[in-house]
Each structure stands twice: as C-alpha cells, then as structure tokens.
Chain A
Amino acid sequence: AQSVAQPEDQVNVAEGNPLTVKCTYSVSGNPYLFWYVQYPNRGLQFLLKYITGDNLVKGSYGFEAEFNKSQTSFHLKKPSALVSDSALYFCAVRDKDRGASGTYKYIFGTGTRLKVLA
C-alpha cells in the first residue's frame, strides 16, 4: 500500500532561518504527493503538489518542496521562516488503486509540528 512517513514530530527553527519539514514516501508506480498546513483550530489548507516534471515545486506562502526520486523524499522547505509559519504540516500521497467507486483515496502522514521562534 502507498504510504508517507514524517519522521519528526516537531521541528524548531529560529525566525529568519531556513526551514525543512521532512517527508518520505513508499509507493509503487508514479507518486502523486501533497503538502497541507493546519493552523490552530482550523481545517487543513493545501500548500502544493507534485505530479510530474520539475523536481522543485513552488507553492503558497513562499513554501516549496523538493522531490527526490532516489531518496524517495518530498521535503517541504522555506528559505526564511516566519513566526506565522508555526503550524502542523501534513504530507499526503494519492493511493495507487482506484476504489470501488472508481476514484482514488488519499493517505496522510502523521503530521509535523513546526515552531518558529522569534
């Protein structure tokens, strides 16, 4: 089955420093990968996705993600962290097989809490 792993429960970074939130994937076939962010007491918001093509994907709020096929990783990055980036970040992957209804479901990681310190 397809899966994603987020090896860090929490990442701390100082404001202004670059940040990385890690995600590794295990899929058969082409991976279709996503990043979402969840601010406190809110639903998830889409940040970016990788389908094919350029390994560096740019998304919302200055975030980008680097797809690395040899390392089976899809790490989320930002060159300069803001305190307002503090949130819970989820990596997700599209499942390999269609369900009985003919479409796919999506599998989420366990989430990484990012704390940006002023």
Chain B
Amino acid sequence: NAGVTQTPKFQVLKTGQSMTLQCAQDMNHEYMSWYRQDPGMGLRLIHYSVGAGITDQGEVPNGYNVSRSTTEDFPLRLLSAAPSQTSVYFCASSYLTYQTDIYEQYFGPGTRLTVT
C-alpha cells in the first residue's frame, strides 16, 4: 500500500491565484481530513469528511473548499490564495467505526505552500 499520498510536495503561488492540493489514500478509509501546520500553532483542522459526498468544517475552514466524490480522494482547493495561507498542509485518513469513533489517523508527507 502507498498509504496517504499528497501532491505537490512544494508550491509557490501569487496572491489571488487558485490551486488544488491533491490527497489520495489506498487503505479504503472512510474518514479523511486536512490540517495546516504553522509554527507555534500546531495542527489546525481545515475540513474533514466521513465518506463520499459528506464533508464538514473544522477549526479554520475559511478560504478553503473541499469535495469528496470517491472514497480514495479528498482534494483541497484554494480559490484565491492569500499570504496568510502560507503553511504546510497535511492530509490524513482513518477507519471510521460508529461504535467507538476512537481511532488513529494516518498522515501524508505534506505539501509546503508559499503565497507571495
């Protein structure tokens, strides 16, 4: 299994440009999520999904869109990039059991995004 893969590894955008960060997993995990990591702030949840067609907002959703058309893929879209979105972005996935809902997440290697 490749696990959780993210592309690209690095990206530089100009303010106002749009782009999509790709995330895919081959473990048949229902739960997928996007976090951003900033110095001194730890990881903050942007959006998450419990399955195809179902998404929910995290702590910092503004400026980001997501959709989940398949179990495997969970892309993150920046419609109009701003310097405040300069960060490292991590995608994660996990099994989802409604009986317990207590599970560990598998993280991708991250995308380092710089907005100038």
Contact = CB atoms under 8 A, between A and B. Distances in A.
Contacts of A68: none
A108 B109 contact: no
Contacts of B98: 102-103
B42 A90 contact: yes
- Chain B interface residue number, banded: 20 to 34
A46 B102 contact: no
Given A108-B42, A110-B41, A111-B42, A101 B55 contact: yes
B74 interface: no
Interface of B: 4, 31, 33, 35, 40-45, 48-50, 54-59, 90, 92, 96, 98, 100-102, 104-110
5 contacts: A43-B108, A44-B43, A101-B49, A107-B59, A109-B42
